[in-house]
A and B are shown apart, each in its own frame.
Chain A
């Protein structure tokens, strides 16, 4: 399911947005939610993305003037806070994050997690 690039790295889209809401969802312990989620607490982030067409503000100058419809994702996909500057009727993004020192959210559909239970041992 994961999309990989030529160097076998998971392809990730970088985007910037406004964090609108943090929701705490205690998922019921039901088969419906699958082994990955049942009985767990998931933190959801409701974000209004800025239209930056995937540009990385640490590498190129990134500005935006529009936002798109809200998206919901895992809170752990947020890596850092950014600054904004209003200039020439656009917002410029100031991103001082360093990729190497940030924790990453990696979807847990890798086989590593199936070693301790789930379908593999059954």
Chain B
């Protein structure tokens, strides 16, 4: 939304009649969008559309490309074949704390149905981490809270999450099973 406002703002020329400028800006954008759709000029007409190529330092993993195409048939959602474009700052090795390790194993336990303790043993000591992510297809840019934020005014770290509920249930079940197990050991 802020970017769209910035786009509208760039059309302001008159101090006495800024509204006319804004009206025309919106109207002309609509014209161009219509031409774009009618002649399928998405690649050639890039007025405000996102550049398709990755920018410097950005990365997409092939293995992370999701079968959105198949699902888009079922779910009729507008979707692309990739979801997340990772952006720097990139940290080659982020040391995993014990608490984080057990959370990661709980997640994998929910999706692979292996025991969390077994998964935990398979986890490495360090993992690479990324500071920012851009959701593909013109989505939002999100900055992790761990990455340093030069902009004190705005916080881009809070997100909306849609979580498959079964994962949540099994994650919590495992949590209690693990805790029960460890208390018996002690």
Interface contact B158-A18, CB-CB below 8 Å: yes
- Encode contact with A along B112-132: 1 for CB under 8 Å, 0 otherwise: 101000100010000111111
Across the interface, which residues of A come within 8 angstroms of B128, CB to CB?
23-24
Across the interface, which residues of B come within 8 angstroms of A84, CB to CB?
155, 158
B162 located at the interface, meaning its Cβ lies under 8 Å from any Cβ of chain A in the complex: yes
Max chain B Cβ within 10 angstroms of own Cβ: one of A30, A34, A79, A95: A79
Cα distance A50–B68 in the bound complex, in angstroms:
29
B83 located at the interface, meaning its Cβ lies under 8 Å from any Cβ of chain A in the complex: yes
Interface contact A81-B142, CB-CB below 8 Å: yes
Q: Considering only CB atoms, which chain B residue lies closest to A58 in the complex?
A: B160
Q: Considering only CB atoms, which chain A residue lies closest to B126 in the complex?
A: A23
Interface contact A1-B163, CB-CB below 8 Å: no
A46 located at the interface, meaning its Cβ lies under 8 Å from any Cβ of chain B in the complex: yes
User: Among residues 10 to 24 in chain B, which have CB atoms less than 8 Å away from a CB atom of chain A?
Assistant: none
Interface contact A103-B77, CB-CB below 8 Å: yes
Category for how many chain B residues contact A = 35 or more
A53 located at the interface, meaning its Cβ lies under 8 Å from any Cβ of chain B in the complex: no
Q: Considering only CB atoms, which chain A residue lies closest to B77 in the complex?
A: A104
Min CB distance, B51 to chain A, in Å? 19
Interface contact B66-A32, CB-CB below 8 Å: no
Interface contact A72-B106, CB-CB below 8 Å: yes
User: Among residues 57 to 85 in chain B, which have CB atoms less than 8 Å away from a CB atom of chain A?
Assistant: 61, 63-64, 66-68, 70-71, 75, 77-80, 83-84
Task: Evaluate whether A104 and B162 lie within 8 angstroms (CB atoms) in the complex, with A71-B171, A72-B100 already known.
Answer: yes
Min CB distance, A80 to chain B, in Å? 5
Interface set of A (CB-CB < 8 Å, partner B): 1-3, 10-25, 28, 30, 32-34, 36-37, 39-44, 46-50, 57, 70-84, 93, 95-97, 100-108, 112-113
Interface set of B (CB-CB < 8 Å, partner A): 1, 61, 63-64, 66-68, 70-71, 75, 77-80, 83-84, 86, 94, 99-100, 103-104, 106-108, 111-112, 114, 118, 122, 127-133, 135-137, 139-146, 155-169, 171
